[in-house]
């Protein structure tokens, strides 16, 4: 499927040391770009995020869309097979995190990034990835997480109800050690947007709300921690959610 092109953005596919990334940026003269690195979810791909990236770019942002392992141009899995999900999703998240430093280095050196204005975001698995990156890279200014969960123990518990391989068990241990909920000291008073569908039956909004309540305790500037459960919304990133996030970026965070 080809993506919808816009007369107002430039879209480029770049290979960064084996990781395909789409770069979506607004047309015009920009010395530097406020930049959002946005990760896709399980069973999706980077190309499917281009429409959303075009919307973000129309508000002046450069958007980087990395391709996750076993997705899009990097292969395919049976995403609907529960055993595949249980054995692979944490591996994909781990590889996303391991690959981020070279993507970050490339975009700073080659893509005109304003290093003081970099956000990270994503949907579902991509939001989980972004939560880990944000937790352990202090220079990232904003986390924009849609239908994700920042308590990685919830994810590990959910996927280990069935049989998993030894390799998956090892990776799950990595996830527990990197769990953002266990490293709240890294998040204090940093800008976070946490939007979840109230009717989401894939990733529990209750788990994200539990993280929010725990994080709120350590925040002194509580307005920087934004959590919303969107009514009548399932596991999807709606136009209203995206619009609200952009309003927060522009009017509250000044990003």
DSSP 8-state class, residue 191: E
Show the beta-strand stretches assigned E in 198-248: 225-230
CATH of the domain spanning 2-252: 3.40.50.1820
Q: Which two tokens stand for residue 190?
A: 């940093």
pLDDT at 211: 99
Confidence (pLDDT) at 25: 98
pLDDT at residue number 163 = 64
Which of 146, 141, 155 is CA-nearest to residue 187? 141
Percent helix, strand and coil across the chain, each to the nearest 5: 45, 20, 35
Residue 166: what pLDDT?
74
Residues (pLDDT < 50) of the chain are none
d(CA 232, CA 149): 19
Q: Output 15-19 pairs: Cβ under 8 A, ≥24 positions apart.
A: 16/102, 16/103, 16/106, 17/102, 17/106, 19/66, 19/67, 19/99, 19/102, 19/103
Inter-residue contact 53 to 22 (CB < 8 Å): yes
pLDDT tens, position by position, 179-191: 999 999 999 999 9
In the chain, where the domains are located: 2-252
Give residue 205's pLDDT. 98
């Amino acid at each position: 499927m080809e993506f919808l092109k816009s007369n107002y953005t430039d879209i480029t596919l770049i290979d960064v040391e084996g990781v395909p990334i789409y770069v979506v940026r607004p047309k015009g003269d920009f010395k530097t770009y406020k930049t959002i690195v946005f990760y896709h979810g399980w069973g999706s791909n980077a190309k499917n995020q281009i429409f959303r990236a075009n919307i973000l770019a129309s508000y002046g942002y450069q958007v980087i869309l990395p391709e996750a392992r076993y997705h899009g141009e990097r292969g395919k899995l049976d995403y609907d097979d529960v055993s595949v999900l249980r054995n692979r999703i944490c591996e994909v998240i781990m590889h996303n995190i391991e690959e981020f430093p070279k993507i970050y280095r490339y975009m700073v050196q080659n893509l005109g990034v304003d290093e003081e204005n970099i956000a990270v975001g994503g949907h579902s698995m991509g939001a989980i990835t972004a939560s880990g990156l944000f937790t352990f890279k202090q220079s990232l200014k904003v986390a924009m997480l849609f239908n994700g969960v920042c308590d990685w123990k919830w994810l590990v518990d959910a996927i280990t109800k069935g049989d998993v391989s030894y390799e998956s068990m090892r990776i799950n241990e990595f996830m527990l050690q990197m769990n953002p909920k266990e490293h709240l000291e890294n998040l204090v008073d940093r800008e976070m947007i946490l939007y979840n569908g109230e009717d989401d039956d894939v990733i529990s909004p209750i788990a994200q709300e539990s993280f929010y309540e725990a994080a709120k305790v350590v925040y002194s500037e509580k307005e920087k921690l934004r959590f919303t459960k969107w009514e009548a919304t399932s596991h999807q990133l709606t136009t209203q959610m995206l619009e609200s996030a952009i309003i927060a970026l522009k009017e509250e965070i000044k990003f």
